[in-house]
Structure 1
Amino acid sequence: MSLPAEFEQFHWMVDMVQNIDLGLIVIDKEYKVQLWNGFMTHHSGRQSHDAIGLSLFELFPEIPRAWFEVKTKPVYNLGCRSFITWRQRPYLFKCRNVRPVTQQADFMYQNVTLNPMRTPTGDIKSIFLSIQDATAEALVADNHKA
């Protein structure tokens, strides 16, 4: 017996979200984590069941709350993306560098995109963050400065 195509596609989507080589986090307007993918578990050392329901500021007290709220304001209010590059701030989430032998960095440099998530009625009640490991790019740039 075969599964309905919609169920199979849903399963694929869940598998992609958990295994993509990007951090994916969904937060609500209170900055509480709604989704925490496998990339974030691997790089932060925090399991999804330990992150979901907690505020980003509880999980990562190094994030300056007022600064981050300014970054999320246009996403919630205007429905546009917001960006944080490693050049503005080396990381949003202090994660270990998982390739310390090949890359000489104590942490993962990150590029982060904050994206609106619209409900079927068009409201924005959550945003998702995509976190890209930019360590290699940052180290190349630093080596060119020297």
Structure 2
Amino acid sequence: MPDVQIRPVTADDRSAWLPLWKAYLTFYKTELPDAVTDSTWKRFLDSNEPTNAALAWQNGKAVGLVHFIYHRSNWSINVSCYLQDLLVTPEQRGTGMGRKLIEHVYATAKKAGADKVHWLTHETNTTAIQLYERIAERPGFIQFRKPL
């Protein structure tokens, strides 16, 4: 794989981030109001917010994104890290780029004193699940939710 740089987003990265974000939403057959996208972006840039974003860059082009959020846990003194969103461009799938983005979150969360990194994926996302089963444990919990 050619040289890859993964780094936190900066204010100058919005035009590189936005197409990846829209592709992520399309992958999950979802649409969000522009106000949500704008708010999400602003949170990434606010050091008082627990939400973070990083982009993977290759040859000057953003080819992947990862979003993660630190949160408290009643099971630990330290924070946990929720890896909320992960996407690599279709050309990068199967190259190890997704793994590199997850490992970036692992390293960043460890440095922040987090006890664990955890995430969800859709049960039909079989390609990603193959990667996740190699680099994390599958604890067997089932998610339930009620939109309010």
Higher relative contact order (Cα pairs below 8 Å, separated by 6+ residues): 1
TM-score normalised by the chain length of structure 2: 0.28
The structure with the larger Rg is: 1
TM-score normalised by the chain length of structure 1: 0.28
